[in-house]
Amino acid sequence: MKIPVEVPDHPYDVHVGPGIRGRVGPLAADHTRALRALVVTQDPVAAHWLDDVQTSLEEAGLEVTVVTVPDGETAKTSETLVDLWSRCAAAGLQRRDVVVALGGGVVCDLAGFLAATYNRGIDVVQVPTTLLAQVDAAIGGKAGIDLPVGKNLVGAIHQPAAVVADTDLLETLPRRVLREGFGEVVKHALIAAPDLFDDLTTAGAAVLDDRDGRADLVRRNVEVKAAVVAADVDEQGVRAHLNLGHTYAHALESLTGYDTWWHGEAVAAGILVALALGEQMKLHGRAIRRRTTELFGALGLPTGVPVLDRDAVADLMARDKKADRVVRYVVLDAIGSPTVVCPTRAEIDAAIDVVEDAAVRPPGDDATGEVADEAPDESTDAATAAHDGRVRG
């Protein structure tokens, strides 16, 4: 299936479905003028999916260079980007050529920013390999790197030439990586798709194993994000609604070192803070947070937030890239009806009080007895088993 993203002056399509990775080469050839492709990926992903993507590109007539970057959010640094720029130059990439991002959200961000900046901008084709990346990170053109003082503080908006979301790639994900993606799925449901939220709450944990329904799940999420991005490319208005949960989430990630709480997990925690804030401000009743908390529990996502230094949280939220002299929070008037507020420090602290729990640990922390990675199923081969769960959104 093909979902259009009607960005003014740069429309493109998101292709969703099982077994479509072989279309990467033809799409790159059709939508760019490239003679060369630089594939940015990570070793565990490359071990399983690179051959198919590289063959597709080469059969389409492109000369291919492959570069691997480290796993995890800590790869999103200026040092990694400098190395990628140098690899582009060594491969002889010109303005007409293309970067192909094959990986989760980290690779989508890095490769997108690489394409936005090398030779003043070249094309990028996104091939997301995690649920989080397929429903969110690969769409909309946001790309960037982190600084020690905050997440995604250096970046650009650089729309892809095409996105290829092959849902077969989700079959080999470690369980925690799959669960993490539902942080963004639930976010989309809350801000723009009440019917999706109802379906998720009805399905509960069963949605995790609904392999036949994954293409439709990705499609429904892509449609939400595509509509928002097309309406507000530069995040001057409604695109801010996609940040539900992210203000607190980015502070949580920064304070815990990025690789402890994964992005989708931190977003889930941040959503609970935002819903508690909405309650405190009398925008909605308790039912939304109750239903969302129950859904997160079924999905193995956080049902509360950890105890953190409140001054450090407040400082990081104030320095968040979305802050404009005041902390801006996306909250809900109702499911499907988001709004932006500027709460006081006291209001934010009161909301955190509601959902803070000293027992809360990252969902992958075995010592807590909470959700840990599960063993791969019998269909998972050695290359996939080497995937350690850190290649993610």
Q: 139 and 226 in contact (C-beta within 8 Å)?
A: yes
Task: Of 91-100, 130-139, 311-320, give the lowest mean pLDDT range.
Answer: 311-320
For residue range 9-54, what is the model confidence (pLDDT) as tens digits?
899 999 999 999 999 999 999 999 999 999 999 999 999 999 999 9
| 290 to 187, 279, 319, 346: CA distances (angstroms) | 15, 11, 30, 23
2: helix, strand or coil: strand
Domains and CATH numbers, the chain: 2-171 (3.40.50.1970), 174-368 (1.20.1090.10)
Q: 339 and 332 in contact (C-beta within 8 Å)?
A: yes
Instruction: Identify which has the larger pLDDT, 393 or 322.
Output: 322
| 128 to 35, 230, 280: CA distances (angstroms) | 22, 20, 38
Query: Any residues with CB less than 8 A from the CB of 86 and at least 6 apart, and which?
Result: none
Question: Which residue in 163, 213, 222, 164 sits closest to 192, CA to CA?
Answer: 222
Question: Checking phi first, is residue 300 left (phi over 0); if not, alpha (psi -120 to 50) or beta?
Answer: left
Query: Any residues with CB less than 8 A from the CB of 372 and at least 6 apart, and which?
Result: 176, 363, 364, 365, 366
| 105 to 152, 304, 305, 372: CA distances (angstroms) | 12, 24, 23, 21
Question: Phi/psi of residue 367, each to 5°?
Answer: -65, -20
Position 347 confidence tier, pLDDT thresholds 50, 70, 90: very high
For residue range 170-218, what is the model confidence (pLDDT) as tens digits?
998 999 999 999 999 999 999 999 999 999 999 999 999 999 999 999 9
Q: Residue range 281-300: average pLDDT?
A: 96
Instruction: Identify which has the larger pLDDT, 71 or 301.
Output: 301
Q: 104 and 132 in contact (C-beta within 8 Å)?
A: yes
Determine the Cα–Cα distance for residues 244 and 341; give it in Å rounded to an integer. Answer: 11
Give the pLDDT of residue 325.
64
Judge whether residue 348 has pLDDT over 90: yes
Q: Centre a 10 Å sphere on the Cβ of residue 169 and count the other Cβ atoms it contains.
A: 25
Helix (H) or strand (E) holding 27: helix 24-31
Indicate the pTM of the whole model: 0.91
Determine the Cα–Cα distance for residues 33 and 178; give it in Å rounded to an integer. Answer: 35
Task: State the DSSP string of 85-139.
Answer: HHHHHHHT--TT-EEEEEESHHHHHHHHHHHHHGGG--EEEEEE-SHHIIIIITS
